[in-house]
Structure 1
Amino acid sequence: METHPAPATGTRMASEIAEQPTAARRTLDHLVPEQPRLRDLARGRRRVLLVARGSSDNAAIYGRYLLEVVAGVPAALAAPSVATHYRARLDLSDTVVVSVSQSGATTEIVETQQWARACGAATVGVTNVAGSPLAEAADVALVTQAGPEVAVPATKTYLTQMVALAVLADALSDGSALAADLARVPDAVAGLLEVDVSAAASELAAADRVVVSGRGLLLGTALETALKMEETCLRPVRGYSYADLRHGPISVVSEGLLAVLVGAAHGPLAEPMVDLVRDLQGRGARVLGLGGTPSFTDVCDLHLPGPDLRETVEPIASIVPAQLMIEQMARRMGLDPDNPRGLNKVTQTDVTSSTTHERSPR
């Protein structure tokens, strides 16, 4: 595949990636005081249902794991079409419904939040736009402080959505389970802005076939990495959980495939990723690793460092090297990462819309 030297960076996407340490700090400062309201709202409710699309969906996947692992609250991802098309009536009186949308104006998400309230749910809106329909209608609005995002691919809005969901999980835990670790996130993000991604970007730009995989709390990071490659580089890329890749799709791994694996530096799922690297390499694939343990780093063909954070907050920062890599990958392919073909900032699902299409069947 033909590639081009990456022109000097000056894209809006690169600029907004660089704003993320400040955006994370502002968001923490703004949202942590909302934790007492979140605890009051959730009192007596036993479940959390997350509603999202696109990049927000990947943030919600992180939120789901975090709510269950840290707060001990059963959580699931909603199927918005149950509300907007099937118009089912559910008893959500024991549920907090968390709707995630960077614009707060995606019609499907706003309508699903309205449906959830009509079904008895308490509602939390996570959005980057104060005064948006989602924020105005929610019982508690968690308005992230990313500032205006001009580039079409979500970077700082995605990262601050994860911060917001971590603040929520911390609020619903028995104590301040994440407070100290969350305070370290902005500096960890700042440190990762210095990672040299040029070799990884070159290899990706030249690859004919790419898959991305991650596991557990880092699954959302892997799926967001795959989505960003599709959106920004116009390349079909499959994102898999570790388990899904092992069951069936691994049979198509062969010479010429580049596998991007997102590993955890700590936690119970860190070391098993080493076995997956060796398995993929044995089938002829090259492996680009993001983050992970020292043994994971050693066996990968290429590697980008991740943050030195506990697994529970690691995903917030681990997306940064991937964002940098994809921005440079697009430029090496002669593409404009700020304005991917056929996309804009407000995601709608209906095929009659001129905006992005639904990326999952939920």
Structure 2
Amino acid sequence: MCGIVGYVGTKQAFPVLIKGLEALEYRGYDSAGLCIQNGRLHTVRSEGKVISLSEKAQLFSLEGTAGIAHTRWATHGVPEERNAHPHRDCAGRVAIVHNGIIENHHTLRERLQKTGHVFASDTDSEVLAHLVEEALDQGHPLLEAVRVTLRQIQGTYGLAVIAKEIPQTIVVARMGSPLVVGIGEEGYYVASDPSALIEYTKDVMFLDDGELAAVTSEGITLRALDDQEVEQRIERLEWDTEASQKDGHEHFMLKEILEQPEVIKNSCRGRIDRERGKVVLGGLRDVQEALKRMERIVIVGCGSAYYAGLVGEYLLEELAGIPVEVELASEFRYRKPILTERTVVLAISQSGETADTLEAIKEAKRKRALTLGLVNAVGSSIARETDAGVYNHAGPEIGVASTKAFVSQLVVLTLMSIHIGQLRGTLSEARASKLLSELTRIPNHVQVMIEDRCQIQRVARRFVAWDHCLFLGRKFQAPIAYEGALKMKEVSYVHAEGYTSGEMKHGPIALIDEAFPSVVLCPNDSMFEKTCSNIEELRARLGPIIAITDRPDLVERLADEIIVVPETIEELQPILTVIPTQLLAYEMAVARKFDPDKPRNLAKSVTVE
């Protein structure tokens, strides 16, 4: 949540900052602002999207080769210009941009106000500017002033600070909110996400929690919060600039849905040994003995990652014969989970920075459980914090509503389930071979579906006036019902609820009438007849039915609309049935004239509680 950009070097900072904010706008678009250092601090802020800031900034002369910028997702204070970042101190000497939450900001604000500080916003972040001002007044250099400030803070932060009298210097710090520094030929770049700097450099350094750095045009000084010097760790990004562009598509969400055949191939590439009928996961090589001995798996995630985990529960229990629980990461850490050395905790997160999921992993490590990560972002906090793991290899996902990352999570969970089943001897060679053979056909099946979107567009136009709907499924399809409802809510603002079909009679069926449609996931699986019985119950209440099925001939008499998916084996059906739910949500959003890339009140990466 929130996007931070900074630049110090030899070229003009303003274009770099605006381009960076545009790349990060999916992290928040309530307001935006920037500050250029040029002998003074010239700050421009605007309510709304980055385009509003860019237009406003054209009215000013913003010369300077160092600056910071921010696009905001509001946590404290309404989305108004006065609450936009950067925030300044009383004297205008300091400007800060911050991502995170300062939990003790009320106490700090009261103390600062008593000593004469005047606040201009309602945000928690502004206390940081005044605390840095206070430390500078005490004679501390900027890096030390920021360190002194942070020792008073309770909460999380990704922070960038500049000061009027200290040219060509940005001090950055991290605790629970990601920051990366890019090393380029024309200067140094700061961002909360690599997508903001990939155009300029692929050489980066990810800050760890408790680290701060002075970034100047001459280089980087990296230190720990306890003032110990820290060795710099330069990594090379695998992304390219094209991966974070729309490539001619109207929206990132559509582009990323259409990329899914290739994403599935990438998630499988190098991981299937067809000759031996084995799954090869190098990221789990060092923990194979522990995986053989484990007694239980706990999967943690939030949002779509949680729903992917629910599919993983079915896969792991069926294929690996291991008890599995799936927990919302936001609740897991506040319980007293019973974990042992033979418990494996698997964290699923596209960004690898989800605050609740990261804290769940830390809690698991405190209890000596083995921790695994399933993340998309290389070098992310969860990737570094876990004992082992597997990358999605989905490429950067810019659309706020997860599509290709979710599908890649399902693919990797399938591979992990087969791998663990083979390790533990619970999965026969014949069944593993059949699963892997069929998995290699899935990209072609997905390609067929996405090439024929006309039917889904017609369904969206027919039901464009929906205010409510149900998504229903059983067994492997239940999590896809939850995910489909989430996508519909996120981007089209239709009130959609996902239920297991068997639960419909326990309350939700009271809502059904001729104006309350249901999307029913009914592939020809082990629950097909029961799902058809559920459809009959909906029809008896005059509820319109949209069926997603691989057997249209068997569903034709039951449904008002049918969306056909290719046939595959039951364990792999969720990878196919989720695609129409993504496209339906997208087409509904477009038909209702909403921007699916920037759904209201949402941000891509939830890095605060």
What TM-score, normalized by structure 1, do the two folds share? Answer: 0.89
Q: Counterpart of 1:329?
A: 588
- Whichever residue aligns with residue 33 of structure 1, its letter is V
Q: 1:65 aligns with which of 308, 314, 317?
A: 314
> Could you give the per-residue CA deviations for residues 13-71 of structure 1, whole angstroms, max 9, x where no partner exists?
11111100101101111554217626434111121111001011111111011111222
Which residue identity is paired with 2:535? V
In 1, Cα distance between the equivalents of 2:369 and 2:481?
Answer: 31
Paired residue for 1:131? 379
RMSD between aligned residues = 1.9
Aligned to 1:186: 443
One-letter amino acid of the structure 2 residue matched with residue 165 of structure 1: L
Change (3 A) 1:17 1:89: closer
How is 1:11-22 mapped onto 2 (pairs within 5 angstroms)? 11-22=251-262
Question: Could you tell me how far apart the structure 2 residues matched to 1:166 and 1:116 are?
Answer: 23
CA distance in 1, matches of 2:265, 2:459: 29
- The letter for the 2-side match of 1:17 is I
- Contact residue 339 and residue 364 of structure 2 kept, 8 A: no
Residue 493 of structure 2 is aligned to residue 234 of structure 1: yes
Q: Superposition pairs for residues 1-362 of structure 1, below 5 Å?
A: 10-31=250-271, 32-34=279-281, 37=285, 39-81=288-330, 83-86=332-335, 88=336, 90-173=338-421, 174-175=427-428, 177=432, 178-195=435-452, 196=454, 197-266=456-525, 268-293=526-551, 294-348=553-607, 350=609
Cα pair distance change 1:81/1:14, threshold 3 Å: closer
Cα 1:271/1:343, change in 2 over 3 Å:
same
Q: State the secondary structure of the residue aligned to 2:471.
A: strand
Structure 1 pair 81–330 and aligned structure 2 pair: CA distance change class (3 A): closer
**SS of equivalent to 1:193:** helix
Aligned residue type for 1:276: N
Task: Provide the C-alpha distance between the structure 1 equivalents of 2:512 and 2:304, rounded to a whole number of angstroms.
Answer: 26
Q: Which range moved further: 69-78 or 50-59?
A: 69-78
CA deviation map 1:209-262 (0-9, x unaligned) = 211111101111111110000001112211111121122221221221111101
SS at match of 2:570: coil
More helix by share: 1
1:149 and 1:156 in contact (8 A); partners too? yes
CA–CA separation in structure 2 for the residues paired with 1:41 and 1:182 = 27
Q: Distance in 2 between matches of 1:191 and 1:116?
A: 42
- Unaligned segments of structure 1, at least 5 residues: 1-7, 351-362
Cα-to-partner distance string for 1:262-292 (whole Å, 9 max, x where unaligned): 11223x2012211111110110100001124
Pairwise CA distance, 1:120:
2.3
Instruction: Give distance in 1, aligned partners of 2:546 and 2:480.
Output: 14
- SS of aligned partner of 2:545: strand
Aligned AA (1:190): Q
Deviation at 1:183, TM superposition (A): 1.5
- Which shows bigger deviation, 293-302 or 123-132? 293-302
Aligned mates of 1:280, 1:224 — CA distance in 2: 21
2:438–2:568 contact (8 Å) kept in structure 1: yes
- Tell me how far apart the structure 1 counterparts of residues 293 and 414 of structure 2 sit (CA, whole Å): 21
CA offset digits 1:180-201 (Å, max 9, x no partner)? 2221221111111123212211
Determine the C-alpha separation between the residues in 1 that align with 2:400 and 2:329.
23
1:110 and 1:30, CA in 2 relative to 1: closer, same or farther beyond 3 A? Answer: farther
- Paired letter, 2:349: S
Aligned to 1:358: none
TM-score by length of 2: 0.54
**Is contact 1:54-1:347 (8 Å) kept?**
no
SS in 2 for 1:237: strand
Deviations 1:134-162 (A, max 9, x none): 11122222111111111111110110011
Structure-2 change in CA distance of 1:89 and 1:148 (3 Å): closer
**Equivalent pair of 2:467/2:495 in contact (CA under 8 Å):** no
Q: Secondary structure at the match of 1:290?
A: strand
Q: 1:42·1:122 contact (CA, 8 Å) conserved in 2? A: no
Paired with 2:308 and 2:482, the residues of 1 have a C-alpha distance of: 10
Deviates more, 1:279-288 or 1:139-148: 139-148
- Structure 1 residues 213 and 83, CA gap change in structure 2 (3 angstroms): closer
In 2, Cα distance between the equivalents of 1:128 and 1:79?
19
Q: Distance in 2 between matches of 1:163 and 1:101?
A: 14
Moved more, 89-98 or 133-142: 89-98
Count of aligned pairs between the two proteins = 341
Residues 62-87 of structure 1, C-alpha deviation per residue, up to 9 Å, x if partnerless?
1011111222211111243555334x
Greater relative contact order, per chain length (Cα 8 Å cut-off, separation 6+): 1
- Structure 2's unaligned 5+ residue stretches are 1-247, 272-278, 422-426
User: Compared with structure 1, are the counterparts of its residues 26 and 236 closer, same or farther at alpha carbon in structure 2 (3 Å cutoff)?
Assistant: same
For 2:584 and 2:408, the matched residues in 1 are separated by: 19
Deviation at 1:314, TM superposition (A): 1.0
Letter of the aligned partner of 2:319 in structure 1?
A: V
Q: Could you tell me the percent identity over the aligned residues?
A: 28
Residue identity matched to 1:314 = Q
Alpha-carbon distance in 1 for matches of 2:505, 2:542: 16
Q: Residues of 2 paired with 1:349 and 1:288: CA distance?
A: 37
Change over 3 Å in CA distance of 1:136–1:145 after alignment to 2: same
Q: Residue 546 of structure 2: SS of its match in structure 1?
A: strand
Which residue does the alignment assign to 1:356?
Answer: none
Q: In proportion to residue count, which structure has more strand? A: 2
The one-letter code of the counterpart of 1:244 is E
Q: What is the SS of the residue equivalent to 2:571?
A: coil
Question: In the superposition, relative to structure 1, how do residues 81 and 324 fare at CA in structure 2: closer, same or farther (>3 Å)?
Answer: closer
Aligned AA (1:181): E
